[in-house]
Amino acid sequence: MRQHAVNMVDTLARRDSRVVFIGSDLGPGVLKGMKRDMPERFFMEGVAEQHIIGMAAGMAMEGFVPYVNTIATFLTRRCFDQLAIDVCMENLPVRLIATGGGTVYAPLGPTHLAFEDIAILRALPNMTIVAPVDEVEMVKLMDASLDWPGPLYIRVGKGNEPIVTAQDTPFAIGRALEMRPPEEVTFIATGIVTAKALAAAERLEAAGLRAGLIHMATVKPLDAAAVRRAAVAARLVVTVEEHTRMGGLGSAVAELMAEEPTGARLLRLALPDAFPEGYGGNDHLMRLAGLQPDQIADRVMRALEPAA
């Protein structure tokens, strides 16, 4: 997914002279074609994340559309003040390609796990947050990003995510995708864990329980109409995200359902409200958090059991 995102920067730069790329301490092979053919619009700034946000804001003020790429933890925690003051307060068209949202960088340990990035940025006015499910949707998002008004945070998996959308699957920033029609149980998921929610829905159906699925690629602004449709049809709405329970997709859905009660219950499946511990693979950490398809399906079945 990350490779498709940065490759699209090259494609967009060849289409539109406003596009510039700004990287922070990335590998020497990143966008080598753009670096060769458009060196005046390719910048690799080293370990200087706060600097590149100010740099991108300045370029945006001069009419450019900067695409900034580095690791999600550094782009959010380390640069929060610059994002708030330089980018969001001015409502500038800066595109933040955040590699490694969630637990992608599990082998590097807790310092590199962006478990709270959505919560951090949801609090910023003017910020749009999008988490594609696969590389096909990523290409569509990048194409739509060029003329999006204002800041845009793009949460990127590192690669090899299962492909669950097709070339003709509709995509628009701010619009949810109904992958399975709302049922008594309806999942609302975002990012690469939408594929896990889809697999969980298939497991539930095999067990005799039909489950709907809404892919909420855009977490902010939330597609409120899609949430309402799911909540009206369902007895149980289940949010699934590779993010802390605090302040992410589940919180956004809970806020809406609290203000517009439908009678549906809400089950929020997410990373725990704790600093991540340990090392290993992404699948290992997701299993520890109970976010593999079999675990998701089991947690839904238990949530539907009558109270003792």
Least confidently predicted of 70-74, 265-269, 277-281 = 277-281
Q: What is the mean pLDDT of the chain?
A: 95
One DSSP character per residue, 83-137 reads: IIIIIITTT---EEEEETBBTTTGGG-GGG-BSSHHHHHHTSTT-EEE--SSHHH
Contact of 164 with 133, CB cutoff 8 Å = yes
Supply the pLDDT for residue 85: 98
Q: pLDDT-derived band of residue 261, with 50, 70 and 90 as boundaries? A: confident
Query: What residues contact residue 274 under an 8 Å CB cut-off, 6+ apart?
Result: none
Evaluate the omega torsion of the peptide bond into residue 93 and state whether it is cis, within 30 degrees of 0. no
In the structure encoding, which two tokens stand for residue 203, read together? Answer: 């497991």
Sequence ranges of the chain with CATH classification 3.40.50.920: 177-304
Supply the pLDDT for residue 306: 80
Supply the pLDDT for residue 276: 85
CATH number of this structure's domain 2-156, picked from the four choices 3.40.50.80, 3.40.50.970, 3.20.20.30, 3.50.50.60? 3.40.50.970
Share of the chain above pLDDT 90, in %: 88
Q: pLDDT-derived band of residue 136, with 50, 70 and 90 as boundaries? A: very high
Short-list 285, 216, 205, 291, CA closest to 251:
216
CA 95 to chain centre: 13
Q: pLDDT-derived band of residue 307, with 50, 70 and 90 as boundaries? A: low
Q: Using the 8-state DSSP alphabet, how is residue 65 labeled?
A: E
Query: What residues contact residue 209 under an 8 Å CB cut-off, 6+ apart?
Result: 184, 185, 300, 301, 304
> pLDDT tens digit string along 137-155?
999 999 999 999 999 999 9
The CATH T-level fold of domain 177-304 is Rossmann fold (3.40.50)
Sequence ranges of the chain with CATH classification 3.40.50.970: 2-156
Length, in residues, of the chain: 308
